[in-house]
A and B are shown apart, each in its own frame.
Chain A
Amino acid sequence: MQQHLGRLEGVAKVEVSLLNGSVTILPRTDAKLDPGRILTATYDSGVTVAEMTLSASGWIEKADVGSIALRIDGDRSFPIAPSALVRELEPLAGTGRAVAVRARIYRKPAGKKTPKPAGLLPLEILEILKKE
């Protein structure tokens, strides 16, 4: 799995802990990590992803009515699921102010043993790491 993930575009380093069942993927400085491809590649390497979280920085923008999204570059933005922490981010929408968050983007559906990942979920904000 480590080699499989390490060959993906944008991946600089893959750290695996067999003890904890955890995998950390670090990007190259000049590249873009694609969480969807990492999810699929991990599944294809023969293991089940129970949860995927990411740390990302970008800026907040308005998405659909009453919701916001985290834009991390010109062509990629991730919708944000409603939560108590989101209220702290909502005033930043459209201001262009930088924000860094840690968020859950995938969780294995309950009750299934080895499901094929259905796809990424809206970001569930776990922590606001930095606000300008």
Chain B
Amino acid sequence: MLTIRLVLAAALAATLAPPLFAGIDRIDLRVEGMT
């Protein structure tokens, strides 16, 4: 019973946890007036 609860808790935590690699990967600009 304890094992089942642990497995379910781990599965729930994995579902609710934020992704490991979140963030801004790159920003692209289109600019005018660049010399």
Interface residues of A (CB under 8 A from B): 1, 16, 18, 21-27, 32-33, 35, 38, 42, 46-59, 71-73, 95-100, 108, 114, 132
B22 engages A98 (CB within 8 Å): yes
A27 engages B22 (CB within 8 Å): no
Point out which of A18, A32, A54 has the most chain B C-beta atoms below 10 A from its C-beta.
A54
B29 engages A96 (CB within 8 Å): no
Distance in angstroms from A54 CB to nearest chain B CB is: 5
Distance in angstroms from A102 CB to nearest chain B CB is: 9
Name the contact of B28 in the complex, choosing from A1, A24, A58, A100 (C-beta under 8 A). Answer: A24
With A1-B34, A47-B33, A49-B31 as known contacts, state yes or no: A33 contacts B18, CB within 8 Å. Answer: no
Nearest B residue to A10 via CB reads: B24
Q: What are 5 A-B contacts defined by CB distance under 8 Å?
A: A23-B29, A35-B24, A52-B28, A96-B17, A97-B19
Point out which of B15, B24, B26, B34 has the most chain A C-beta atoms below 10 A from its C-beta.
B24
Nearest B residue to A51 via CB reads: B30
A21 engages B25 (CB within 8 Å): no
With A73-B22, A98-B22 as known contacts, state yes or no: A21 contacts B34, CB within 8 Å. Answer: yes
Distance in angstroms from B25 CB to nearest chain A CB is: 4
Q: Which A residues lie within 8 Å of B28 (CB)?
A: 22-25, 52-54
Rounded to whole angstroms, the CA-CA distance of A53 and B32 in the bound complex is: 15
With A27-B25, A72-B24 as known contacts, state yes or no: A114 contacts B15, CB within 8 Å. Answer: no
